[in-house]
């Protein structure tokens, strides 16, 4: 059978990478079918392009030694007395399965969806990757045909993914997010998509990671969807071809979303809200392409308003965001606000210092900012007046040499004691 390509709705993400909008069930030419996670690429006039999928599904009409009756479009067994089926265990050895076994191992599947004995070999195989009965129910609800795949075909496909760098521990995540991946043939689909990624300059060692983050990439036509998306990034957004590999590695989702909608809405928002010129917004996308996924109302605007609220003008906010676009990914309550309070109350700095050292907002308060500040204070080497934010930027070794004038071991021991002390304080508060 052929899986007709159809695109899902635009993906919207909040700052924590969670989806802010669920996908609707779209219709394909062959009937209703749930679409993959993520957004969609640029539509093409050839959107009818199809991806070849598995044809070797288990056939209920070819069971040996069982009388059966067949009609057009339907076949069923006249006898259901046969209660023993064969399945493969983890080591590939055949073992006899009974209906009682199905009831014991997959009770929910057996009762809720009338578990078909033909599915047992595949379920047993997928179980070796950590999938459990609750996961199979999710797969059934998401894309039932994925459970009808011949176990040998599924094994071939998953082993290919492992061969291109997908980690075994991530197979469960991929299959749950994109169960259709069990249907995509190696020669006609998987290899062509891997070749596409390599053609963009993505290192072979990073291919597996990209597949893990965006497994729905295999559901989009290379020629009719993925390549047009890449062209849009270059020709319309302004990403240079030499930077494409970096952008996609930072955010593989850009390949599987409506990039035209994502770009235009955020470009218009940042232009109006901050007076940001196009070049600045392109720099933001290049440094942190996740910007294209974050919700405007729940992600971008609250962080801009936070920076305004601490006294920064639009021009200063633009400098900070252009230099450190990942500010959009930082938690307000657990990250930005505590760092700002420490900057003002402990380091005796003013907010305008952030325009010169925006990196401060990306540093860990517990692991970097507080330990270095307290260490210099303890050594009586902290300068009078505002604490120099430049001392927070270098590596630990450089900090010890340039600012503390002591050994790295001495600083690390001090930091460890401080971390334990701060942890004890937090634990006491919770208690």
Its sign, for the CA torsion 162, 166, 170, 174, is negative
Phi, psi for 211 (deg, rounded to 5): -65, -40
Phi, psi for 227 (deg, rounded to 5): -65, -40
> If you average pLDDT over every residue of the chain, what do you get?
81
pLDDT at 103: 75
Selection from 82-86, 116-120, 211-215 with the highest mean pLDDT: 211-215
Under a CB-based contact definition with an 8 Å cutoff, are residues 12 and 293 in contact?
yes
> Rounded to two decimals, what is the model's pTM?
0.71
Question: What is the spatial distance between Cα 174 and Cα 170, in angstroms, rounded to a whole number?
Answer: 6
- Tell which residue, 323, 354, 327, 326, has the closest CA to residue 340: 354
pLDDT band at 430 (very low <50, low <70, confident <90, very high): low
Instruction: Give per-residue pLDDT as tens, 208-219.
Output: 999 999 999 999
Looking at residues 368-386, what average pLDDT do you find?
94
Both tokens of 146, joined, read 């994925």
Under a CB-based contact definition with an 8 Å cutoff, are residues 382 and 346 in contact?
no
Looking at residues 353-358, what average pLDDT do you find?
94
More confident residue, 17 or 156: 156
More confident residue, 48 or 312: 312
Looking at the chain, the whole-number percentage of residues with pLDDT higher than 70 is 76
- Asked whether residue 79 carries a pLDDT value surpassing 70, the answer given is no
CB atoms within 10 A of CB 142: 16
pLDDT band at 429 (very low <50, low <70, confident <90, very high): low
Both tokens of 211, joined, read 């597949």
pLDDT band at 63 (very low <50, low <70, confident <90, very high): very low
């Amino acid at each position: 059978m052929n899986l007709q390509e159809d695109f899902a709705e635009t993906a919207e993400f909040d700052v924590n990478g969670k989806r802010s909008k669920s996908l609707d069930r779209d219709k394909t030419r062959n009937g209703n079918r749930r679409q993959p996670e993520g957004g969609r690429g640029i539509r093409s006039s050839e959107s009818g392009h199809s991806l070849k999928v598995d044809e070797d599904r288990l056939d209920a009409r070819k069971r040996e030694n069982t009388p059966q009756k067949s009609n057009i479009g339907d076949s069923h067994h006249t006898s259901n007395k046969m209660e023993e089926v064969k399945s493969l265990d983890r080591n590939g050895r055949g073992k006899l399965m009974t209906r009682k076994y199905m009831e014991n191992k997959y009770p929910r599947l057996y009762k809720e969806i009338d578990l078909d004995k033909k599915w047992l070999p595949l379920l047993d195989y997928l179980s070796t990757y950590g999938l459990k009965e609750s996961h199979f129910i999710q797969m059934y609800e998401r894309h039932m045909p994925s459970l009808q795949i011949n176990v040998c075909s599924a094994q071939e496909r998953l082993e290919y993914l492992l061969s291109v760098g997908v980690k075994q521990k991530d197979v469960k995540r991929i299959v749950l997010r994109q169960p259709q991946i069990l249907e995509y043939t190696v020669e006609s689909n998987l290899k062509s998509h891997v070749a596409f990624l390599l053609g963009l300059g993505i290192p072979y060692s990073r291919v597996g990671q990209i597949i893990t983050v965006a497994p729905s990439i295999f559901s989009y036509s290379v020629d009719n969807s993925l390549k047009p998306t890449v062209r849009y990034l270059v020709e319309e957004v302004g990403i240079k071809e030499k930077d494409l590999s970096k952008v996609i590695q930072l955010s593989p989702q850009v390949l599987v979303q409506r990039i035209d909608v994502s770009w235009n809405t955020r470009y218009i928002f940042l232009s109006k809200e901050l007076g940001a010129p196009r070049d600045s917004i392109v720099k933001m996308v290049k440094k942190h392409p996740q910007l294209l996924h974050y919700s405007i109302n729940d992600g971008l605007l609250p962080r801009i308003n936070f920076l305004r609220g601490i006294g920064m003008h639009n021009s200063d906010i633009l400098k900070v965001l252009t230099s450190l676009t990942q500010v959009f990914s930082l938690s307000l309550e657990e990250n930005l606000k505590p760092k700002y309070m420490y900057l003002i109350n402990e380091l005796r700095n003013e907010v305008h210092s952030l325009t010169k050292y925006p990196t401060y907002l990306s540093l860990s308060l517990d692991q970097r900012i507080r330990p270095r500040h307290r260490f210099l204070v303890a050594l009586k080497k902290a300068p009078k007046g505002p604490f120099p934010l430049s001392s927070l930027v270098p590596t630990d070794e450089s900090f010890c040499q340039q600012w503390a004038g002591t050994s790295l071991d001495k600083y690390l021991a001090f930091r460890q004691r401080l971390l334990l002390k701060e942890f004890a304080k937090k634990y006491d508060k919770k208690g």
